[in-house]
Structure 1
């Protein structure tokens, strides 16, 4: 049963990625929406789950929150180390004087985009695991968790495709990562048929991944979304994405 339910997550993930690939010149709206979805997933889903699974404190701070900050800082250090943001100011000046729209995509690291998409795939494995573990508790609880996972896997597919392309990767790579992300929940559900991952470890991972996503949304995706276009429509998309995740998670809880 869990594997069959995870097949629904497979389809929703593919749908989200395909929608992201068809938007054409509305890229700034896609990025704004993706950032809002990511913020919603982090604030309303991942962090609460991390705090529930890893509530223990270290020097007065919940371990899930410590992992959240660690995930944010790790990606920040990686970006600074590979100098992804170098020459942004000079690029801005050059584009402004040349009368061209500002964009930072040329300086992005393809490998970082692949790493970010791979992290989303790993998260989707945990989504499938969550479905399987919930059905071990009971069918009604499993159904509630499955609805939440399937609903937000649309956002996962959307974000996987968008992030892969944002960092300079081609359409083929984006589709491959999308396929991996779609298969990941089925794999995760299958894992629960073999053994159970300790809840505490899951909580620590979710906290770390939350920080990872938060950094991508606030430091990379939102600035990229607002740089070449007026901010109002992009801002509305970001708010809509966050509100959508609130609605989805609220209805599923």
Structure 2
């Protein structure tokens, strides 16, 4: 049944596998036949779904039930876990089954920036980035290559205002590994420096959001890693036909 197309055992109505999977994932309570509204047997859903979509469907149903019921519990956001992790008022807490953390209030999943912070504190933009933007803007202007055309504009990476931004999470994890307190970073200019990074135009937005992706490295003349330049003229050569660069 449902190799590509099959009929429900309860009513005989036919569905293709993709359509039935899409329909079941869109439902928030009882999963019924779209055509006659009879409840679809769980075995039919299981046979039409792959493991991932079946797990996602179960998570959707349980999450919706817990969010609309009077029960004071929340569900782990890990797809393969779906365990009850605690009361809704607990905030950011770790699942005892899978070890990952979820905020029972705002739903943030596996983001250590939320640890020991309220949801309001977590969502509040960090003052450190306001200061870094000012400092990096000044650095870019002072270190622009005189032989190049003047800078036409400088954009801020607005992704960093979103506390769920993967590149932001990586930044804080990196500081933690280095033993650097983020709040004290700007008080010691020996702990950081700015550099240029040239890349193709279409890569800039993904880098701003996700950070650097090792799988997309190319060239690597001096060994594996991310490459940065002290001078704008050198880094600009890696932009190909693009006109924008990153200050990191």
The structure whose residues are more often helix, as a share, is 1
TM over 0.5: no
TM-score range (shorter-chain normalised) is under 0.3
Q: Which protein has greater RCO, CA pairs closer than 8 Å, 6+ apart?
A: 1
TM-score norm. by structure 2 comes to: 0.23
TM-score norm. by structure 1 comes to: 0.23
The structure whose residues are more often strand, as a share, is 2
**Greater radius of gyration (CA):** 2
